[in-house]
Amino acid sequence: MVQVADVSAILLAAGTSNRFGAEDKLLAPLAGEPLALHAARRIVELLPKRRIAVCKDTDGALAQLLASNGFKIIVNPHPEHGLSQSLSCGIAEAALGREAAALICLADMPFVSTRHLRELLTRFDPRTAPAVASSNGNAAMPPALFSRALFDKLRNGEGDRGGKALLADAALVHADPDELLDIDRPDDLPAR
């Protein structure tokens, strides 16, 4: 187990959202609020030592929204290079701190509960479970928690796979598949 005060939480929010269309997916309304704000609020409720958001810029609406919720904004200058580029940017910032682990969350996963994030922290052990991932019963996926000892490997991933290789051996924390849904297309959003 790792204490929440010894965790950096990283919200990946710099994707290109190609499948969503022209609208900025992370600002699309869900239950009256921007989509990304749902995931951000679960992190805020968790109370980690540091909150980091990886965005496309520092002055756009999304970056300003996340900054106003206490996130340090880190810019991914090349979001077109995939999720691993955002992960690398976030982990580089987390590595500047002293926290024992980094919790990786995706801004397009609005239904993940704070309870589930706490379960990831509870399952973590730096020796026996240095990587802990969520599972919908079929696959290991984010949100995921990684020991500081894995930061260098996370920084060197490529494409949209990011930390996927490290998830292959991760300890798993199961959640209802609906909780782990991500929003890729406008049709994925519940009725507005």
Superfamily for the 4-188 domain: Spore Coat Polysaccharide Biosynthesis Protein SpsA; Chain A (3.90.550.10)
List, for residues 152-192, the tens digit of each pLDDT value. 989 886 544 456 777 888 999 999 999 999 887 767 677 54
Give residue limits of the domains in the chain. 4-188
List, for residues 78-120, the tens digit of each pLDDT value. 888 888 899 999 999 999 999 999 999 999 999 999 999 999 9
* 64 has pLDDT over 60: yes
| CA-to-CA dists, residue 136 to 25, 101, 124, 180, angstroms | 23, 23, 18, 7
| Cα(185)–Cα(117) distance, integer angstroms | 25
What pTM value is reported for the model? 0.92
* 9 has pLDDT over 90: yes
**What's the whole-number average pLDDT of the chain?**
90
